[in-house]
Chains A and B, each alone.
Chain A
Amino acid sequence: MSMLKLALGPVLYYWPRLTMFEFYQQVAESPVDIVYLGEVVCSRRHELRLPDWLDIAALLRDAGKEVVLSTQALIESGAELTTMRKLCEHRDFLVEANDFGAVRNLEGAGFIAGPHLNIYSEPTLAVLARQGARRWVAPLEMDRTAIATLLKTQPAGMESEVFAWGRMPLAFSARCMTARNRNLPKDDCQFSCIDYPDGLIMDTREQKAFLVLNGIQTQSALCCNLVRVMPEMADMGINVLRISPQSRDTLEVVAAFDKVRRGEWQAPHAAVMLEPLAPGGSCDGFWYGQPGMERVA
């Protein structure tokens, strides 16, 4: 059983430029093995441009991290296609494909098949392997039984990754729900997302946090927390766990996952320690084949 690798997912929110640079300075010194970079939600966000991302990528690579550039999940316009192609052509770094347009542009490139490609079964994973995927990320809603089944038959040399911490990116829309909240059209959104470093909470009319509006993306209000099942995931043969950045305590979360994989902390202890760091409380339902918002363990 080899040690689980820790990956930091792309920042899903719109943080100010300086915050981003400071964040990745700290990430460079953290125990994560893999860092996903880039704007995956909305092409209107522009605090960082491609040269900035490449600077950060170089910094992290020099710190010994595996750097992956992530493509936008919902690509509609010609400009968005151009951005995606630029990332795919950039063969200095690995790329995570988050739609099949990117998969087409990454043929033979040894890419990461992202969580939004809907890889639920062996024949589809085989198609992606043939295209050049070297790692696949399980869909958010995939349960442990299905993941275990797919792991048994995955192509030789293929790595697997599971989303293990963070508010889950559950849906994408052409409509911007954050701009809608301010009665602004998307084309004149005034970059409202920058005011919500962890997204905008959407409560039910009983004041129960249900979802989080993050521009065109909708997330879970609860934080997926699978630290408790790390030993099980290692036994299953999962290679990489993804931690999704949040505005506070991300590196504390990374540290806790790191302690568990090194055997310094027991997983149940880490789960207790991490509970206060889970924005909105934690859930793990998807892992157990239950509604994602439920907490089983």
Chain B
Amino acid sequence: MIELVCPAGSLPALKAAVDNGADSVYLGFRDATNARNFAGLNFDEAAIAEGIRYAHQRGRKVLLALNTYPQAANWQLWREAVDRAAGAGIDAIILADPGLMEYARNKHPGLRLHLSVQGSATNYEAINFYHEQFGISRAVLPRVLSMQQVEHLIRHVKTEIEVFGFGSLCVMVEGRCALSSYATGESPNTAGVCSPAKAIRWQQTPKGLESRLNGVLIDRYQPDENASYPTLCKGRFEVEGETYYAIEEPASLNTMELLPQLVQMGVKAIKIEGRQRSPAYVAQVTQAWRSAIDACGDGKRRFATHPSWSAALDRVAEGQQHTLGAYHRKWK
């Protein structure tokens, strides 16, 4: 059966994931070594130890994201994080940086390595590079490939493949986007953040409610409109006199209806996005996906998404909208 990989930004979220049927939970340390480096989020040593104990007692796995890029001045911090993770008894670490992969491979040969989505490997040649050089066991695919491309890729790699199933949608190739640092000085690659909260200002004006990122107007809302978090690629902008979501609407990715196809083409694991979300989100989404995966099985039986699962996901979706993203060719 396909593995359900769920996010945890805190110990309560981890427990919610485990209790609601996650096969694996992924998390990060409380620092810039992971791509969800948000205030009040993530795990210190004690919380990780407790999280691993809780998951392992119930036969589940814990994966640690170390998926930012070690920086020139202090790359040793990332190596220490690898050592700490290995010492804590983590089941796998999720890495983006080749130098760090090499270190992990040499220092902890028994430790399982996953290639992070931040590694932006969008083709099998790239994945095979990481596999041959560093022995990665699994690759997480960027959210840019169509179903056909995913299927083609799987036929040409020896590693397991994990894809995103649900959550906030990055329209850019992860690991290849410096838009956030262009506007704010901090990006996912360098600081583990995109459109960081500290750079955001909300202001009520005569023209409407405005969201700004380091002064740049990202969007403006009329009283009847739902305001969303001003991720800079999801605002409304003007191009040739027309105002629209020039890059991407604030929508959530939801691939549940594709589940049988994903299973049949050999996808090993489905990832739920949202380490920055609440334990209630994690519980709700995990439960819906657990039900769907159990109903789907080996992908050969008849499968339809149950209205109650969709309703649960709708309640937590960004902008209350869903998209199949790049899996659906026309989206591109």
Contacts and interface: CB of A to CB of B under 8 A. Distances in A.
B202 interface: no
Contacts of A75: 122-123, 125-126
B332 A185 contact: yes
Main secondary structure of the interface of B (DSSP, over half): mixed
Contacts of B201: none
A182 to B, nearest CB: 10
B184 A146 contact: no
B332 A100 contact: no
A146 B103 contact: no
Nearest to B175: A118
Contact of B99 (A80, A104, A121, A201): A121
Contacts of A213: 239, 246-247
Contact of B173 (A125, A174, A208, A285): A174
B111 interface: no
Interface string B227-247: 000000100111110110011
Chain B contact residues (Cβ within 8 angstroms of A): what range?
Answer: 35 or more
B332 A285 contact: no
Interface in A161-188: 168, 170-177, 180-181, 185-187
Given A104-B125, A146-B72, A177 B217 contact: no
Contact of B239 (A116, A126, A200): A200
Contacts of B97: 118, 120-121, 124
Interface in A269-297: 285-286, 289-293
A223 to B, nearest CB: 13
B264 interface: no
Contacts of A170: 177-179, 182
Nearest to B97: A124
Interface in A81-117: 81, 84, 99-105, 116
Contact of A123 (B100, B178, B237, B243): B100
A139 B189 contact: yes
Interface in B181-223: 181-185, 187, 189-190, 214, 216-220
16 contacts: A74-B176, A99-B120, A104-B126, A120-B190, A121-B75, A122-B75, A124-B70, A124-B98, A145-B72, A150-B72, A175-B331, A203-B239, A205-B243, A291-B182, A293-B182, A293-B216
Interface of B: 69-73, 75, 96-100, 102-103, 119-126, 128-130, 132-133, 144-146, 149, 152, 171-173, 175-179, 181-185, 187, 189-190, 214, 216-220, 233, 236-240, 242-243, 246-248, 326, 329-332
Given A171-B233, A205-B243, A293-B183, 5 more contacts: A100-B98, A100-B129, A121-B99, A126-B99, A204-B217
